[in-house]
């Protein structure tokens, strides 16, 4: 299946077959997320695979009792590492890009211009901004994962309606990690039609907004 087919076929799945998902397929979905682009190659995402029935029930409760979470064979808890946008980590990431020729900066420019600029240094604007920036990258990875799930004959549903605080507690996560979304994963037991999308000429413009 090519990417265009996966994009057209993808839909939110909320009913699951009871069949377990093979580890190989789960790992291919995770690998798709790992290959996603991120700002400065920061890779702030962390993915926790949950298959335990009791734990899935606790996650469902943190998500307002949603059966799509409770009944899924697999739930991937998508988390972000705030530290990925700290000064130390940003310098490491940008330095790697400099070493491969992607960025034509000197060490002096990196340390005294780039890392002192609000434009390139989210850490200067506080933890909330770093969390938002990490969340942007996680969403890209999740998009890749949902498409690879389709390629593997699986379904997903992007669950953002949940208590990040309660999920954090359920998963006993360290303080430097925040919860972004839950991604239930399994073999679909439904084949819903794609939800309607606005026509292209209503959402895209050439040269200027009209």
Handedness of CA 41, 45, 46, 50 (dihedral sign): negative
Rounded to two decimals, the pTM is 0.91
Residues 4-28: tens digit of each pLDDT: 888 888 999 999 999 999 999 999 9
Per-residue pLDDT reduced to its tens digit, 162-203: 999 999 999 999 998 999 999 999 999 999 987 889 999 999
Tokens 């413009």, located at residue: 205
Map 47-110 to HEC letters: EEEECCHHHHHHHHHHCCCCHHHHCCCEEEEEEEEHHHHCHHHHHHHHHHHHHCCCCCCCHHHH
∠ Cα 62 66 71 (to 5°): 105
All structural domains of the chain, each given as residue ranges with its CATH number in brackets, are 3-84+126-191 (3.40.109.10)
């Amino acid at each position: 299946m090519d990417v265009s087919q996966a994009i057209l076929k993808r839909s939110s799945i909320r009913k699951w077959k009871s069949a377990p998902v093979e580890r190989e397929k789960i790992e291919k979905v995770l690998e798709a997320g790992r290959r996603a682009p991120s700002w400065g190659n920061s890779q702030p995402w962390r993915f926790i695979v949950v298959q335990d029935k009791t734990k899935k029930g606790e996650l469902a409760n943190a998500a307002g009792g949603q059966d799509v979470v409770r009944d899924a064979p697999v739930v991937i808890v998508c988390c972000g590492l705030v530290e990925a946008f700290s000064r130390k980590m940003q310098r490491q990431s940008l330095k790697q890009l400099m070493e491969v020729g992607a960025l034509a900066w000197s060490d002096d420019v990196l340390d005294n211009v780039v890392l002192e600029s609000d434009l390139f240094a989210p850490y200067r604007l506080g933890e909330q901004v770093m969390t938002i920036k990490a969340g942007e990258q996680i969403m890209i990875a999740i998009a890749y994962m949902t498409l690879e799930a389709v390629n593997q004959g699986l379904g997903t549903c992007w669950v953002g309606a949940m208590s990040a605080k309660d999920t954090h507690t359920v998963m006993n996560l360290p303080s430097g990690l925040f919860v972004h979304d839950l991604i239930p994963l399994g073999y679909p037991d439904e084949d819903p039609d794609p939800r309607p999308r606005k026509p292209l000429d209503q959402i895209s413009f050439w040269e200027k907004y009209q």
